[in-house]
């Protein structure tokens, strides 16, 4: 990888403040999805090393919990500043291993860093309560304490920000972490480990393990020393992990799949709705859990919306994310390509009309054309499963009641979007949508200042905002007797 600060490129797991030398020599090769060139080999570790990391995290966490919150805050702020200083290199690492355009990778670094900064501040605001005594001699004091050691599993679609989003609240609250990045994208996590060391975070507090997913998952879930699991990834894996967490009754935060409806009412600002749909659909080649999966357009404006949408999507330039003029990179791997093709062919078999794209891009490899499917219907795979590719199915609807019913007819409940200029409808629909997040007249909703998260099978817990710290804290009360004289 051609970057300036070569120290950011690490190939080994980071355990107890050290880069682990490989014991048995087993390595995994990592490839750039844009051209299948090998970008490096990372050495993976086994159960012994994972347990070593858990032990180190236990020791570090006990000490870290006692560090004054102002000092914790300063350490996290140093990490924040280091991320900004290294923004360009960190962004390139994302693009090399994940494929997204550099512009998006730069944004991802700023986005992840913002969570570190936000929780650096929040570290100083972990307030308790004083509750009036229930007897005349009693006072009740509530304090909040870190949960302890946190196991953390992250996905490949935002390899840096999904980890930073968890590091912020975990470390600010006084927890320690044992983390595993996705197998496709280890380098972004290892770069954050390097910066955590540079920022002066104590050894053992933040560990990054390259390992087989199941070995890691079972070691973390079996360990009674690990008190919490935080996971971002597919609903299928999240369900497995949730079940396995029961044996040690861990606290669990899950940020799982989504199937976002994107509703355009006929009183919407059409240009703005088209721009919002493009941002929500094609960012990261459609590989985000909040991306618009079902675009519902009211029948009166259906054709007009489609025309404008097609014209603008035509302008998206597909290519290697490292090229300055690229708007859309490749898909992550062969499985993603196969799934995207399957969704498109299933849609055409069930009556969908390909209005744009629909096949592998002429660049070949893992590139897929930005695709639009008109006349989509609720029986199609695209209407029910996450595509995780650049495919926009457009559905027509007649009434508000009908579209809300169709939008909510999903096991998922992560993001949703709608466009209208009617104030009463804005409130009504916002309240009716069974989703953890609603974008009203916008296709981009994430911010470190807001509580990101889903309901139903999209997960539990929230990341960001004043609520985000609660996921990493236990509540304790102290009942004080004998206050009477
Ligand atoms: P995707 O299909 O998008 O890769 P996954 O849920 O499979 O989504 O992956 C998200 C993260 O979960 C990755 O880090 C992956 O290695 C990890 N993972 C997958 N299966 C397991 C498992 N059984 N135990 C622990 N982690 C897992």
Find the 9 Cα to ligand 1 centroid distance in Å: 23
Find the 153 Cα to ligand 1 centroid distance in Å: 7
Nearest to 458 by CA among 179, 232, 151: 232
Find the 450 Cα to ligand 1 centroid distance in Å: 26
Nearest to 152 by CA among 175, 181, 124, 128: 181
With vertex at residue 259, the alpha carbon angle to CA 376 and CA 232, rounded to the nearest 5 degrees, is 155
- The pLDDT value given to residue 136: 92
- Residue 346 to residue 122: CA distance in whole angstroms: 48
User: What tokens does 290 get?
Assistant: 């909040």
Mutate to test the pocket of ligand 1, among 182, 211, 459 (most ligand atoms within 8 A of CB): 182
Find the 217 Cα to ligand 1 centroid distance in Å: 9
Q: Which residue's alpha carbon is nearest to atom 26 within ligand 1?
A: 213
- Residue 412 to residue 406: CA distance in whole angstroms: 12
Nearest atom, ligand 1, residue 217 CA: 25
- The pLDDT value given to residue 22: 64
Nearest atom, ligand 1, residue 182 CA: 14
Pocket of ligand 1 (CB under 6 A): 153-155, 180, 182-183, 213-214, 216-217, 233-234, 237, 240
- The pLDDT value given to residue 24: 62
Q: How far is CA 421 from the centre of its chain?
A: 30
Phi and psi (nearest 5°) for 213? Answer: -60, -45
Nearest atom, ligand 1, residue 154 CA: 14
- The pLDDT value given to residue 26: 81
Q: Which residue's alpha carbon is nearest to atom 21 within ligand 1?
A: 213
**Which string of DSSP letters, residue by residue, matches 88-107?**
HHHHHHHHHHH---HHHHHH
Nearest to 376 by CA among 359, 360, 397, 390: 397
Q: Which residue's alpha carbon is nearest to atom 14 within ligand 1?
A: 182
Asked if 463 and 166 touch (Cβ cutoff 8 Å), the reply is: yes
175 by Cβ neighbours in 10 Å (0-12 / 13-18 / 19+) ranks as buried
- The pLDDT value given to residue 424: 98
- Residue 369 to residue 363: CA distance in whole angstroms: 10
**Which sequence positions are flagged as catalytic?**
255, 289
In the chain, the largest separation of any two C-alpha atoms, in whole Å, equals: 85
Q: Which residue's alpha carbon is nearest to atom 22 within ligand 1?
A: 214
Nearest to 434 by CA among 259, 232, 296: 259
Find the 105 Cα to ligand 1 centroid distance in Å: 22
Mutate to test the pocket of ligand 1, among 233, 252, 389, 457 (most ligand atoms within 8 A of CB): 233
pLDDT (tens place) for every residue of the chain, 485 residues total: 999 999 999 999 999 999 997 666 688 999 999 999 999 999 999 999 999 999 999 999 999 999 999 999 999 999 999 999 999 999 999 999 999 999 999 999 999 999 999 999 999 999 999 999 899 999 999 999 999 999 999 999 999 999 999 999 999 999 999 999 999 999 999 999 999 999 999 999 999 999 999 999 999 999 999 999 999 999 999 999 999 999 999 999 999 999 999 999 999 999 999 999 999 999 999 999 999 999 999 999 999 999 999 999 999 999 999 999 999 999 999 999 999 999 999 999 999 999 999 999 999 999 999 999 999 999 999 999 999 999 999 999 999 999 999 999 999 999 999 999 999 999 999 999 999 999 999 999 999 999 999 999 999 999 999 999 999 999 999 999 999 88
Q: How far is CA 364 from the centre of its chain?
A: 28
- Give the β-pairing of 459-460 and 473-480: unpaired
Find the 237 Cα to ligand 1 centroid distance in Å: 6
Mutate to test the pocket of ligand 1, among 97, 213, 217 (most ligand atoms within 8 A of CB): 213
């Amino acid at each position: 990888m051609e970057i300036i600060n070569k120290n950011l490129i690490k190939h080994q797991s980071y355990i107890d403040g050290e880069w682990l030398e490989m014991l048995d020599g087993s390595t995994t090769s990592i490839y750039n999805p844009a051209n299948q060139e090998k970008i490096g080999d990372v050495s993976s570790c086994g159960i012994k090393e994972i347990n070593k990391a858990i032990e180190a995290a236990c020791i570090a966490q006990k000490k870290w919990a006692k560090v004054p919150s102002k000092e914790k805050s300063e350490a996290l702020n140093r990490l924040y500043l280091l991320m900004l200083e290294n923004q360009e290199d960190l962004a390139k690492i994302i693009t090399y291993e994940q494929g997204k355009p550099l512009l998006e990778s730069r944004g991802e670094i700023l986005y992840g860093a913002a969570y570190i900064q936000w929780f650096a501040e929040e570290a100083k605001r972990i307030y308790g309560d004083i509750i009036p005594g229930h007897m005349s001699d009693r006072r009740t004091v509530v304090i909040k304490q870190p949960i302890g050691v946190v196991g953390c599993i992250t996905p490949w679609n935002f390899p840096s920000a999904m980890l930073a989003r968890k590091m912020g609240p975990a470390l600010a609250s006084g927890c320690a972490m044992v983390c595993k990045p996705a197998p496709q994208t280890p380098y972004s996590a290892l770069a954050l480990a390097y910066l955590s060391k540079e920022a002066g975070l104590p050894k053992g507090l933040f560990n990054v393990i390259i390992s087989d997913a199941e070995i890691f998952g079972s070691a973390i879930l079996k360990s009674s020393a690990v008190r919490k699991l935080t996971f971002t990834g597919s609903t299928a894996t999240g369900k497995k992990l949730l079940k396995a967490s029961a044996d040690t009754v861990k606290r669990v935060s899950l940020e799982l799949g989504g199937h976002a409806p994107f509703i355009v009412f006929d009183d919407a600002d059409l240009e703005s709705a088209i721009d919002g749909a493009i941002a929500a659909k094609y960012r990261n080649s459609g590989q985000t859990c909040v991306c618009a999966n079902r675009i519902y357009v009211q029948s009166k404006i259906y054709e007009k919306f489609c025309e404008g949408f097609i014209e603008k999507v035509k302008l998206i330039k597909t290519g290697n994310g490292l090229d300055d003029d690229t708007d859309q990179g490749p898909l992550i791997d062969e499985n993603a390509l196969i799934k995207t093709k399957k969704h498109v062919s299933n849609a055409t078999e069930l009556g969908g009309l390909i209005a744009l794209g629909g096949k592998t891009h002429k660049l070949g490899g893992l590139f897929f054309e930005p695709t639009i499917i008109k006349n989509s219907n609720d029986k199609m795979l695209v209407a029910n499963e996450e595509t995780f590719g650049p495919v926009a199915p457009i559905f027509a609807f007649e009434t508000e009641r009908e579209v809300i019913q169709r939008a909510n007819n999903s096991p998922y409940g992560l993001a949703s979007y709608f466009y209208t200029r009617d104030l009463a409808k804005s409130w009504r629909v916002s309240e009716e949508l069974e989703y953890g997040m609603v974008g009203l007249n916008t296709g981009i909703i994430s911010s470190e200042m807001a509580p990101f998260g889903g309901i139903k099978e999209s997960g539990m817990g929230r990341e960001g905002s004043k609520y985000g710290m609660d996921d990493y804290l236990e509540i304790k009360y102290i009942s004080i007797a004998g206050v009477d004289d």
